[in-house]
């Protein structure tokens, strides 16, 4: 369908717009020129005394300083001298001179305060950063002469006057005066010009507005289609971008939904079937929400965001909507042909209190963290973000994580893996931690969702590898396992590091590689080849969280896995859940036949330890033996 915007023949709109623009430019150009001339004259008259007074003050400050010593250090260290300078600066303050202060530029090019003549309640402290938004401030170091910088404000004429204070021919300090005067508002000539211009503009705009309103209705209808995902008929990322600017977080809970193992559907049945599944899932969601209250957005390939309307005191009705969606997707048959169907499940992360976040993005991030935890716990479940269970709600932004890496606040804690027969320590698992600037220790689930899909994830893996290498070189008596994600296994720079550690440092036999069983690993030929290459270099391969996801036993033999770590959620329930018990028993029996060692995670008490011993598990890891801690 051919769509036309605003009017049937767009040339008329172009001509009308050009005509209006020309008239406005002609009217306003004369006004601006006249106003500029008046402002220039006002500045010239008003600043004559300011310039001379400021220069005298700069000379007085220079006379107070010892030319044999560094000016900056003198003021920083000599409090009486600084107070004396600030008293002189206070004398400069008038009705029009609002601020007077002395600054310097540090080695990084940041301007910082040395002395401030302001009122004590508004006074900057020594070395406080001064935010400068114009590059002209740096010109004074080149010209070494006083510099005037004009500022543009609606009701004031304002400027900063900078006077250099030099030492040995180099500018060391800058005396700054912030000066402003109110604009003259009763100049008859300007008023008459503006009256005539405004009357002309009103007449023209009234005509244009009538046309614009009519055509904007048509334009709005067309624009709405830009917010709808064509495949699923729910809102898309464009709408999400617009929504976050005005949505009231007090009115909703946020739920992030991910279709479990969707890549397997695409790989097995093709993308056409994958699209059918996406449409059926979206349709199920739409049928189970409250049309006038709730919002559904497709923000990724198989990822949806739900904003479910709620009240502050009652989340029950909103959670009922979510439970209804979850249950109906589980029970539905998703047809791949007329006769054949597959079962689909979803993982859901929920943020019940988005209003506690500063921005929509922060609130969404917490729902995403909960989704990350839901998938880590085996998928096909709903996980609610819990401040108590998620590090008291602490999370870091990408920039904060980058800062932590640069400032060496990325650390590792180590948890022992013990021999189930002798209870002696066999290995340690290195666990990622980040210390924030307040000293809080943040866990992986508070870090990894934020950097998922960014280069920071790769860099943080490299940092952990360097930490483990250093620890192994310091402690030749231990072995350490490091966790790698599927993308790490195919990353050239990380593989290069591992090859170097094995060949040059001889660490291959003492640095174990733990990978989570996933479709990404199973379906990637490069990952298989790289794991076999690392095994040839001496590395031991550990499959982490085994039993929580894909559980492809044949794949274990293909990559010649050395160890299986049974998922902790299974081990936790081994005493009370018959299915968990049988699953552990079968894994142990298979592993003995395949010559693969078995490690049980989350061994938290003696009863669980005794049970896995009887089942023939080779190694154990958990709080019963030790909590993760620094390894000295």
Q: Which two tokens stand for residue 181?
A: 């005067």
Please, what is the Cα angle at 375 between 370 and 380, to 5 degrees?
A: 105
Lowest-confidence pick of 275-284, 368-377, 481-490: 368-377
CA 549 from centroid of its chain's CA atoms: 28
> Any idea what DSSP says for residue 357?
S
Neighbours of 586 (CB within 10 A): 12
Higher-pLDDT residue of 155 and 506 is 506
Report which of 168, 160, 116 is spatially closest to residue 139, judged by C-alpha positions: 160
pLDDT at position 155 over 70: no
Higher-pLDDT residue of 463 and 221 is 463
Contact indicator for 462, 494 with CB cutoff of 8 Å: yes
According to CATH, the topology of domain 237-392 is: Alpha-Beta Plaits (3.30.70)
Task: Average the pLDDT over 348-359 and give the result.
Answer: 87
> Any idea what DSSP says for residue 50?
H
- pLDDT of the residue at 186: 43
Strand ranges (DSSP E) for 463-558?
480-484, 511-516, 541-546
- Give me the residue label for tokens 């036949």: 593
- pLDDT of the residue at 296: 93
Count Cα atoms within 13 angstroms, Cβ side, for 90.
Answer: 11
- pLDDT of the residue at 9: 44
Q: Which residues contact 484 (CB under 8 A, 6 or more apart)?
A: 461, 494, 513, 514, 515
pLDDT at position 211 over 80: no
Residue by residue, what is the 3-state secondary structure of 409-434?
CEEEEEEEEEECCCCCEEEEEEEEEE
Task: Average the pLDDT over 495-517 and give the result.
Answer: 91
Task: Average the pLDDT over 383-391 and give the result.
Answer: 64
- pLDDT of the residue at 482: 96
Angle between helix axes 398-406 and 455-474 (nearest 10 degrees) is 30
Q: What is the pTM of this model?
A: 0.49
The answer to whether 1-227 and 237-392 have equal CATH topology is no
φ/ψ region of 384 (left if φ > 0, alpha if ψ in -120 to 50, else beta) reads beta
Helix (H, G, I), strand (E, B) or coil at 307: strand
CATH class of 395-620: alpha beta
CA–CA distance, 373 with 449 (Å, rounded to integer): 9
Higher-pLDDT residue of 517 and 610 is 610
Strand ranges (DSSP E) for 128-167?
147-152, 156-167
Helix (H, G, I), strand (E, B) or coil at 481: strand
- pLDDT of the residue at 199: 61
- Give me the residue label for tokens 């172009």: 14
The helix (run of H) or strand (run of E) holding residue 551 is none
Largest CA distance in the chain: 100
The model's pLDDT over 295-315, given as tens digits with 9 standing for 90+, comes to 999 988 899 999 998 876 667
CA–CA distance, 199 with 205 (Å, rounded to integer): 10
CA–CA distance, 555 with 142 (Å, rounded to integer): 67
Q: Indicate the pLDDT class of residue 438, thresholds 50, 70 and 90.
A: confident
Positive or negative CA dihedral for 457, 461, 462, 466? positive
- Name, of 12-26, 117-131, 179-193, the range with top average pLDDT: 117-131
CA–CA distance, 311 with 291 (Å, rounded to integer): 17
Q: Which two tokens stand for residue 20?
A: 């209006």
Contact indicator for 163, 88 with CB cutoff of 8 Å: no
The model's pLDDT over 422-436, given as tens digits with 9 standing for 90+, comes to 999 999 999 999 998
Task: Average the pLDDT over 319-330 and give the result.
Answer: 88
Report which of 215, 232, 235 is spatially closest to residue 224, judged by C-alpha positions: 235
Q: Which residues contact 461 (CB under 8 A, 6 or more apart)?
A: 484, 485, 488, 494
Q: Which two tokens stand for residue 322?
A: 């979510």
Q: Provide the β-strand partners of residue 148.
A: 161
CA distances from residue 612 to 429, 565, 582, 615 in whole angstroms, order as listed: 20, 13, 12, 5
Q: Where are the alpha helices (DSSP H) in 225-315?
A: 237-243, 262-269, 271-288
The model's pLDDT over 223-241, given as tens digits with 9 standing for 90+, comes to 667 788 889 989 988 888 8
Lowest-confidence pick of 133-137, 167-171, 372-376, 547-551: 547-551
Q: Are strands 334-335 and 480-484 parallel, antiparallel or unpaired?
A: unpaired
Q: Give me the residue spans of the domains in the chain.
A: 1-227, 237-392, 395-620
- pLDDT of the residue at 394: 59
3-state percent breakdown (helix, strand, coil) of the chain, nearest 5 = 50, 20, 30
According to CATH, the topology of domain 1-227 is: Beta-Lactamase (3.30.450)
Q: Indicate the pLDDT class of residue 22, thresholds 50, 70 and 90.
A: low
Higher-pLDDT residue of 480 and 440 is 480
């Amino acid at each position: 369908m051919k769509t036309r915007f605003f009017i049937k023949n767009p040339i008329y709109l172009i001509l009308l717009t050009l005509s209006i623009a020309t008239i406005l430019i002609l009217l306003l150009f004369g006004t601006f020129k006249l106003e500029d001339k008046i402002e220039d004259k006002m500045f010239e008259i008003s600043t004559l005394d300011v310039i001379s007074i400021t220069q005298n003050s700069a000379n007085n400050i220079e006379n107070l300083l010892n030319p044999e010593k560094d000016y900056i250090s003198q003021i920083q260290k000599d409090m009486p001298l600084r107070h004396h300078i600030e008293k002189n600066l206070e004398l400069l303050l008038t009705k029009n001179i609002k601020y007077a202060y002395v600054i310097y530029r540090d080695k990084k090019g940041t301007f910082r305060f040395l002395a401030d003549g302001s009122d004590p309640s508004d006074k900057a402290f020594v070395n406080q950063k001064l935010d400068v938004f114009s590059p002209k401030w740096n010109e004074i170091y080149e010209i070494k002469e006083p510099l005037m910088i004009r500022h543009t404000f609606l009701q004031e004429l304002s400027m900063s006057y900078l006077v250099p204070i030099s030492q040995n021919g180099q500018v060391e300090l800058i005396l700054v005066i912030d000066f402003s005067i109110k604009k003259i508002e009763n100049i008859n000539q300007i008023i008459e010009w503006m009256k005539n211009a405004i009357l002309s503009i009103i007449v023209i705009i009234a005509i244009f507005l009538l046309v614009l309103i009519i055509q904007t209705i048509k334009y709005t209808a067309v624009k709405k289609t830009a917010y709808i995902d064509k495949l699923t008929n729910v809102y898309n990322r464009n709408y999400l971008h617009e929504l976050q600017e005005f949505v009231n977080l007090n009115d909703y809970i946020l739920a992030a939904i991910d279709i479990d193992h969707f890549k397997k559907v695409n790989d097995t049945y093709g993308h056409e079937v994958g699209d059918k599944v996406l449409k059926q899932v979206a349709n199920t969601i739409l049928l189970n929400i409250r049309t006038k209250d709730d919002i559904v957005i497709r923000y990724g390939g198989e990822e949806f965001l739900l904003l479910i309307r709620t009240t502050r005191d009652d989340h029950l009705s909103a959670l009922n909507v979510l439970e209804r969606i979850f249950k109906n997707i589980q029970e539905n048959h998703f047809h791949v042909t007329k006769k054949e169907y597959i079962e689909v499940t979803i993982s859901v992360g929920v943020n019940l209190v988005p209003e506690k976040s500063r921005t929509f993005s922060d609130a969404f991030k917490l729902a995403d963290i909960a989704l990350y935890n839901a998938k880590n716990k085996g998928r096909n479940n709903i996980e609610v973000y819990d401040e108590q269970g998620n590090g008291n709600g602490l999370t870091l932004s990408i920039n904060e994580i980058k800062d932590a890496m640069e400032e060496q606040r990325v650390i590792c804690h180590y948890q022992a893996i013990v021999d189930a027969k002798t209870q002696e320590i066999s290995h340690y698992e290195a666990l990622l931690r980040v210390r924030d600037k307040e000293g809080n220790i943040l866990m992986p689930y508070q870090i990894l969702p934020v950097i998922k899909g960014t280069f920071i994830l790769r860099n943080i893996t490299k940092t952990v590898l360097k930490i483990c290498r250093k620890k192994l070189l310091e402690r030749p008596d231990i072995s350490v396992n490091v966790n790698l994600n599927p993308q790490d296994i195919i990353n050239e720079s990380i593989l290069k590091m591992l090859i170097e550690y094995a060949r040059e440092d001889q660490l291959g036999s003492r640095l174990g590689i733990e990978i989570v069983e996933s479709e990404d690993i199973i379906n990637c030929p490069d990952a298989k080849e790289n794991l076999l290459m690392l095994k040839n270099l001496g590395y031991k391969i550990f499959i982490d969280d085994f039993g929580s996801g894909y559980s492809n036993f044949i794949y274990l033999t293909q990559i010649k896995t050395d160890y299986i770590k049974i998922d902790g959620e299974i081990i936790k329930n081994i005493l009370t859940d018959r299915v968990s018990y049988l699953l552990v028993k079968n894994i142990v029996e298979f592993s003995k036949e395949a010559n693969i060692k078995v490690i049980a995670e989350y061994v938290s008490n003696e009863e669980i330890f005794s049970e896995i011993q009887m089942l023939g598990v080779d190694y154990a890891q958990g709080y019963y033996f030790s909590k993760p801690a620094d390894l000295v």
